[in-house]
Amino acid sequence: MDKSCDFRLGEDGSFEVTENVQRTFWDKGYIIIRGLLDQEELNKVKEVIDNPDVLKYQYGRPDKSGKEPKLILWQHPGDDVTGMLARCQKVAGTCEKLLGGEVYHYHTKLVTKQPYIGGTFEWHQDYGYWYKYGCLFPDMMSVFIAVDQCRKANGCLQLLSGSHKCGRIDHTIVAHQTGADVTRVADLQGQLQHVTAELDAGDALFFHCNVLHTSSDNTSSDIRRALIPAYNRKSNDPGPHQKHPGYRPMKQVPDDAVRLCTNTTNFEGKDFWIVQPQL
């Protein structure tokens, strides 16, 4: 993995978006912040995502082999621990500086790959389908926050460094997932560095919405969970759409808000996606 993309929090626990950080992000399409969350913060996040009132919204997206990665998606950050995480300066503030303008919470996903049965995500760009939701410009990004250790064996994120520069690629439905044109992906694989983004729990990968990324199935005995808040620039707001409600001002909070938050059970206002079972 390209160590030039690795960064760490400052001694005070904050993160400074320097000129070097900006240059790296726009050159490679991603940066990694090691140790974004400490163990106390991770424990609070786990308490939320293990709550039955959250898990009841989980749904699957089968891959070509029939294995399923599981997802939970919510539209608004809310005031619980995961909401504080999505709104804190080291996450939302970093995205705002990288994208160069006010951002709002587009959605957050919790993605789980259970041991041995957690499936693959096909190569895709997030903007490959966000484009279809009315977003006119790729002024969007996601933050992959590792809740567990993420290794190749349990399906860590993989990406093509610099692939955001190729623009949006046509996407089609592959099994029950949205995937990028396989011929174009193969051509780009011959030109760009393939990065296997192995992360420790608490590390976070910030990536541009046009970066091609994938993840393989979980062949290990270790669960792989990731919390992935996504952001859109206010200037790119498409308004209400059947998939997303559109711009809502997001009040950022200090970085210690995650640690200080005691709300791990009240999820009012998060607006979870309810996916109907297929008949």
pLDDT digits (tens, 9 = 90+) for 255-269: 999 999 999 999 999
Report the Cα 198 to chain-centroid distance in Å: 15
**Is pTM, for the whole model, over 0.85?**
yes
The arithmetic mean of pLDDT across residues 87-116, rounded, is 98
CATH code given to domain 3-15+28-260: 2.60.120.620
CA distance from start to end of the chain: 43
pLDDT of 44 over the 90 cut: yes
Residue 42 pLDDT grade (very low, low, confident, very high; cuts 50, 70, 90): very high
Write down the pLDDT at residue 172.
85
pLDDT above 90 covers what percent of the chain? 91
* DSSP type of residue 112: E
pLDDT digits (tens, 9 = 90+) for 225-245: 999 999 999 999 999 998 999
Residue 270 pLDDT grade (very low, low, confident, very high; cuts 50, 70, 90): very high
- Record the tokens describing residue 54, joined without a space: 């959250």
Give residue limits of the domains in the chain: 3-15+28-260
Write down the pLDDT at residue 276.
59
pLDDT of 278 over the 70 cut: no
Burial category of 277 from C-beta neighbours within 10 Å (exposed 0-12, middle 13-18, buried 19 and up)? exposed
> Which sign does the torsion angle of CA 84, 245, 205, 177 carry?
positive
Instruction: Give Cα separations from 115 to 54, 69, 198 (angstroms).
Output: 20, 10, 17
pLDDT of 51 over the 50 cut: yes
Residue 279 pLDDT grade (very low, low, confident, very high; cuts 50, 70, 90): very low
The HSE-up count of residue 201 (CA atoms within 13 Å, CB side) is 15
pLDDT of 183 over the 80 cut: yes
Closest CA relative to residue 97, chosen from 156, 19, 170: 19
The amino acid at 254: P
Mean pLDDT of the chain: 95
The amino acid at 267: F
